[in-house]
C-alpha cells in the first residue's frame, strides 16, 4: 500500500507568479484535504475534495484553488503569489469524506521571494 506522496518537495517562486502543487492520495482513499503550515504554526485547513468536488473550504482567498482527478490525486493551485504564501503545504488523504483519520504526505515547502 503506497502512502501519500507530494511533489515537488521544495520550490521557489517570485511574487505574482502562479504555482501548482501535486498530491497522490493513499491507495483506496477518495478524499484529499490541503493544509497550509506557516513556520512555527499549526496547519490551517485550505479545502477538501471528495470524488472530484470541493467539499468544504477554510478561510483562504479564491486565488487558492484545487482539482481532484478521477484517480483521486489532487492539485493545489495558487495564483498571484504573495510573500505570506511561503509555507509548508500538506496534503492529507482519508478513506472517505467523513473519516476520522487522515494520512499526511511529507509536504511541499514553498518559498515566495
Partner 1 sequence: GNSVTQMEGPVTLSEEAFLTINCTYTATGYPSLFWYVQYPGEGLQLLLKATKADDKGSNKGFEATYRKETTSFHLEKGSVQVSDSAVYFCALARNAGGTSYGKLTFGQGTILTVHP
In this chain, which of 56, 61, 77, 113 binds partner 1, going by CB under 8 A?
Answer: 56
Task: Work out how close the CB of 46 gets to partner 1 at its nearest, in angstroms, rounded to a whole number.
Answer: 10
Written as one string, the DSSP assignment of 53-78 is EEEEE-S--TTEEEEE-TTS-EEEEE
Q: How far apart are the first and last CA of the chain?
A: 37
Please check whether residue 75 is in contact with residue 66, taking contact to mean a CB–CB distance below 8 angstroms. Answer: yes
Question: Is residue 97 part of the contact set for partner 1 (CB under 8 A)?
Answer: yes
- Residues 16-55 touching partner 1, rule: CB under 8 A, are 31, 33, 35, 40-45, 48, 55
Task: Work out how close the CB of 45 gets to partner 1 at its nearest, in angstroms, rounded to a whole number.
Answer: 5
CB under 8 Å to 30, separation ≥6 — which residues? 50, 51, 72, 95, 96, 97
Question: Is residue 79 part of the contact set for partner 1 (CB under 8 A)?
Answer: no
| Binding residues for partner 1 (CB under 8 A) | 4, 6, 31, 33, 35, 40-45, 48, 55-56, 58, 90, 92, 94, 96-107
Amino acid at each position: 500500500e503506497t502512502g501519500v506522496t507530494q511533489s515537488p518537495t521544495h520550490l521557489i517562486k517570485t511574487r505574482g507568479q502562479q504555482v501548482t502543487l501535486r498530491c497522490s492520495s493513499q491507495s483506496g482513499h477518495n478524499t484529499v484535504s490541503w493544509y497550509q503550515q506557516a513556520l512555527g504554526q499549526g496547519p490551517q485547513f485550505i479545502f477538501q475534495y471528495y470524488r472530484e468536488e470541493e467539499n468544504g473550504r477554510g478561510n483562504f482567498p479564491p486565488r487558492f484553488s484545487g482539482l481532484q482527478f478521477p484517480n483521486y490525486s489532487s492539485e493545489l493551485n495558487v495564483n498571484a503569489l504573495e510573500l505570506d504564501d511561503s509555507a509548508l503545504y500538506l496534503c492529507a488523504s482519508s478513506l472517505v469524506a467523513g473519516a476520522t483519520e487522515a494520512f499526511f504526505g511529507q509536504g511541499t515547502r514553498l518559498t515566495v521571494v
